[in-house]
Amino acid sequence: MTIPPQMPRRAPQPAEALLRRIAGELSRDCDELARRITSGLPPASGESPQPTATSKDVLLWLDVLTGAVRPAQVSARFRLLGRQHARLDTRPEDAIMLQQACVAVLRQAVTDRAQALVSAGEQAATIRTFDTVTHRFTGTAITAIAAAYRGARAAPTPAPASAAHNDTLRAVQQLSRHDDADSTSVPLPPHVRAPLHWCLVTSADSPPEADNALQRFRTRLPTALVAVTGRTLIAYTHQRPAPPGEYPPSGLARIDSTPARAVRHAGICAELARSYGQDVVDANDVGPLISAVEQQPDARERFLAACLGPLYTDGQHAHLLETLRAYLTHGLRSAATARSLYIHRHTLAYRLRCIRTLTGLAVDQPLHRLRADLAILLLTAGAPDEPARDRPLGEATHPGASAEHPGASSKES
């Protein structure tokens, strides 16, 4: 198979692709960039501590520039960053000033790197793209950080882990990881109402967000057995749970056989809820999809290779796999997909032709779209204690996966 000819009107290296490439390279120097940002800040006055930029500030802005953080996630990610600064006793005005300093230092770093790589015209186009992206999200970042500080002032100080907390976590882990475990064989804390009939799983964007979800869930349903492991909240309940408002997308499964099986099904449903913009997905509503995800590994590999072809087996096409997922997520709407990927609509059209040539998928046809949706689900649905979405989509578990950033492919125009 051959890739269709390039669009003649596109430059050899589009500005958005070059910006993604440079931002990906700069992520290796995030500690040095953080030091540069901190050293350029004005000295603190009075008894206020000197604000300190962290690698998390830099990495978040680089993720925004590379498109690793989708536009819909930007506000939530900066809110989490604001909470981290609040815990470090950074003043809110300093946390906001740090974001503005990050943009300024990264702009200079992108300019310096572009000068060494491309012509003056391409350099100017890349900086214009940088300014467009950062201008679009700076206001979002400031608003989210301010909201995080307001929430931090209102939130109670968390208590240190107690023996009861450790017992709860141990019970959740035993029920979730052993197929022969159930509520009669695992000691349950005294506050838990037995028997356990339901399992709810939600995968947050970060451990702090998962901890906040834990507090809200415990307040809503104090008799549940609920704990957080990493970014994942797992809850076992006697009655059907209803997640509170402002809760991450969740999966729900009834415990018909064992809790371990239910937690696997709820984890798959949580990924479906996140992918399709639902608050909660019940396993009873998507039984055939769960069966497809749980098929034997060799059958799974055969389907992925047959459906996605080189997009799955060859890491150099990771950007096309990312494009296919975004196109399906946005309901085949080209304008929304191009915006989410920070690419021009002509670039998107070219990528879609490449996808069709390499895979044979014409996703505007119902059967082809069903196959593509199922393939993306198989790639992204992971175990509840280690969500597959934490792995970049282009780094699927096959031998041909590449660590190269999708935007840096030399095959795209």
Cα 237 to Cα 231: distance, rounded to the nearest angstrom: 20
Asked if pLDDT for residue 10 goes beyond 80, the answer is no
How would residue 273 be classed by pLDDT, with cut points 50, 70 and 90? confident
Q: What CATH number does domain 297-408 carry, 1.10.3720.10, 1.10.10.2840, 1.10.10.10, 2.60.40.10?
A: 1.10.10.2840
Cα 265 to Cα 255: distance, rounded to the nearest angstrom: 10
Amino acid at 146: A
Q: Which fold has domain 163-293?
A: Alpha-Beta Plaits (3.30.70)
Span 83-91, average pLDDT = 82
Residue 108 neighbours by CB distance under 10 Å: 11
Asked if pLDDT for residue 409 goes beyond 60, the answer is no
In the chain, residues under CATH classification 3.30.70 are 163-293
Better-scored residue on pLDDT, 13 or 31: 31
Amino acid at 341: L
360: which 2 tokens? 């044979």
Asked if pLDDT for residue 396 goes beyond 50, the answer is no
HSE (side-chain half, CA atoms, 13 Å) at 212: 20
| Least confident among 205-214, 220-229, 246-255, 323-332 | 205-214
15-154 belongs to CATH 1.10.287: no
- Prediction pTM value: 0.52
Closest to 411 measured CA to CA, from 364, 329, 353, 362: 353
**Is 217 in contact with 244 (CB distance < 8 Å)?**
yes
pLDDT at position 408, please? 35
Which residues have a Cβ under 8 Å from the Cβ of 22 and sit 6 or more positions away? 110, 113, 114, 117, 126
Percent of the chain with pLDDT over 90: 20
